[in-house]
A and B are shown apart, each in its own frame.
Chain A
Amino acid sequence: MRTKMMAATLAAGLALSLTACGGDDDDDKFKIGIKVDQPGLGLKESDGSFSGFDVDMARYIAEGLGHDLDDVEFVEAVSANRETFLENGTVDMILATYSITDERKEKVDFAGPYYVAGQDLLVRADDDSITGPESLDGKTLCSVTGSTSAQRVKDEYSDKVQLQEFDSYSKCVDALLGGQIDALTTDDIILAGFAQQHPGELKVVGSPFSEENYGVGLPKDSEDRDKINDLIEEAFEDGAWEKAFNDNLGDSGYPLPETPPTVDRY
């Protein structure tokens, strides 16, 4: 009886894990890594669809590469997994607030940048006392665990700011709306997504104090890189870039930069 029960448990467990590991693994799809928890950039909606600036840009590029939108599959790419996802072929390209850095260039290729973001602050709409990182003394600043952005503010701009770390931006936003913290810091376009989600309640301060070049992450030595660079420039010219921004972030009160970035064909 014991053996039977053990065997049954084992079988059930294995079956569960097997069905889970198998499944949707067909290679015909064009797989794009995106964020799923950043409103305005890459968000999984309640109905299971994806929306955001990164997502719209990804669709534009996929179409330009000759893929049918029905063959495009979006995959969640959390920050820590982005390089490995490209290296082991889990995804074919990544648009997920992915900053171009020299360190990353050693492992993956980048097209773009398609957007230049900068570290900024998100505050309550009626809060005029915070105008930049220098005005944070005595205030409380939120950021997510594992990012150094808040520590940088404390070290370089305001040593009297109090820091609160959470494991997700949504917790920071909740506490910001509730008045328990005064500001949230990360890239301005990410902040704009939250401002868009809570119109009239939150605003981006708008004095970025760093520069992050968002690029399209590709596997090393990808053949598509030049083509994608062309497509990004095309999107700047034919208005697709502006539309992608306005559709997703137009109500955030955060303005689209006047000139698009210059594509870096390194």
Chain B
Amino acid sequence: MLDQPEVAQIGRDALTIAGLSVAYRTQGRDRTVLRDLSLRIGKGEAYGLVGESGCGKSTVALTAVRYLPRNGSVTGGHVLVDGADVIALDSVSLRRMRAKTISMVYQDPGKALNPSMRIGRQITEIFELAGLAAGPSKDRAIDTLKRVRISDPVRVMQRYPHQLSGGMQQRVGIAMALASDPTMLILDEPTTGLDATVEAEVLDLIVQLRQEFQTSLLFISHNLAVVSRMCDRVGVLYAGMLVEEGPTKDLFDNPRHPYTVALLRCLPRGGQRKDLGRLDTIPGNLPAPGATISGCAFADRCALADDLCRTKLPPLFDLGGRLSRCHYHDRALTLPRTLPAEAASPAAAKYDAPVLKVDNLNMTFGSGSHALHAVTDVSLSLLPGETLGLVGESGSGKTTLARMLLGVIEPDPGGRIMLEGNLVEPSLERRSWQQVKAMQIVFQNPDSALNRSHPVSRIIGRALRRLAGLSGAPLKQRLLSLMQSVRLSERHLQAKPRQLSGGLKQRVAIARAFAGDPRIVVCDEPTSALDVSVQSAILNLLVDLQARHHVSYIFISHDLGVVRYLSDKIVVLYLGRVMETGPAEQVFSGPHHPYTEALLSAVPTLDGPGMARIRLQGEIPSAVNPPSGCVFHTRCPRKIGPVCEQAEPPLARNQAGHAIRCHIPAAELAELQTAKTVGPQPQ
């Protein structure tokens, strides 16, 4: 039970979790997912909860609002919201608490809104619940939408959720959560799945609203950089236990638990590149829900662990304002790396002849006044063993470009695709077998890309038969060596995709793509759905395979840190046009195209505010009716005048091959970008 001083303290907290244990009942057994969890969030404080998927983050959120799934139950402990015990409340008080004290913003805003109700109604019902009449409720709803910086609230109220973009949907979600002026706001992965530019807008909005309303935040995210930007204090969750907690800066700069140390090492940081060093990974897997944990939950994956760690559960050591659940918290930072840091790639041999050369590729969907120019006049080239990073918001034409290269869709007549010096037919059916197997793809979601009724051996075996033309004993042999090269073991051969974790499935997909010894592999967001520790392992694998086979990658990702780590060359697309291209180092160090600059400053990093921040307003315009002149002028924070609206700037290239499509000369851009913050320009 809680003693007296604690009770007094709790009175001042927005959320108190004390000794909380939660279990899910599956197959007749209770499986513990939260173990004796305690944390406190003060009034007006922003608390971040981080950890990989399956560690119990969302369960904490759902317990705080008492909305556990049917099979979930609280097996011990207390959750107090603004002093009231959530678990002990009767249904009327619980409803009142949800209506007034605590609110939540969800991961998938499109699904969290009722698809068959207008936005307006979904907000006014909150005020009607509070006792307002229809008229005043509507006025309040308009005010609420204005608070989340929606410029045309009356029109948005008339809309249905599917008529709004993801960013707008999430603004509405935040507006609804703030409508009742709650003391406590829970944000469960609120920006996951949104574009980086939209994410930046939403995060800015949350920061501003926090200053206005003094609401306490519980911010749940797998993205350490986002949490580091948003929160005062951070808790690291592992296997349902708090393993470390502390003020954000201290915790990320000087982590005191090996798990935190390891997580941070998985991320490409500070401009790390594949030829300068490998990413570290975390060996092994998270303990399964309900597993019996005798010692430290992380001991099996920790290089510092000894017998003490395996037998005695470490308490939460108080390190003066911060906590660590590690016997050796004082030397957590000395955690040895799992992998040696030196780069895998031998200095890549220099080639002159590009493996892929694309000239003036265009793609138009539809015709007449509805014609959508998805890709306009794109040219690029790629050397063997090189990685081309393809960057841009969704709707910028990245995937369309990749699909044209693969021959899945046929580009408009006039463009040229040259593979190893030979002209390639635009459509896949007319490509030679050699050309087909030379270009392969790894998709974002291995679940839908792998046939789920076939075992791994059959999925890869089929690719070997079709792409490498093997059969019998040679096939078997090649299958095993391929499995080995993607670090899958023989016991995975008979497994079906659903029996494998996300990372293992992606390895199968990579093995399948490499079956025919490809020259080019298109990687379409291959790690976006994966946890950071798994992501780093996959990225290392891609680097190793590239070093060994001199294969080239076209790497599509919204994560600029990952793109920077892997890429030798960058193409920045906006509305299907190349806005900037060049060697990766130059594109990232600048001078940048204003669009690239905006993308770069949208991404929160753990390395502190590096560059001047510029923000984009609004959404990417429709490709059916692109803006005149420079297509970026409608959102450009560095627009110089009418010339931007009238003439499309040329792609101006310097000697090093760095090209920028902007009316501002590169030297001037460089000067501008070393200056201080530029806000969005009023139109």
Q: Does A associate with B in a complex?
A: no
Q: A residues bordering B, Cβ < 8 Å?
A: none
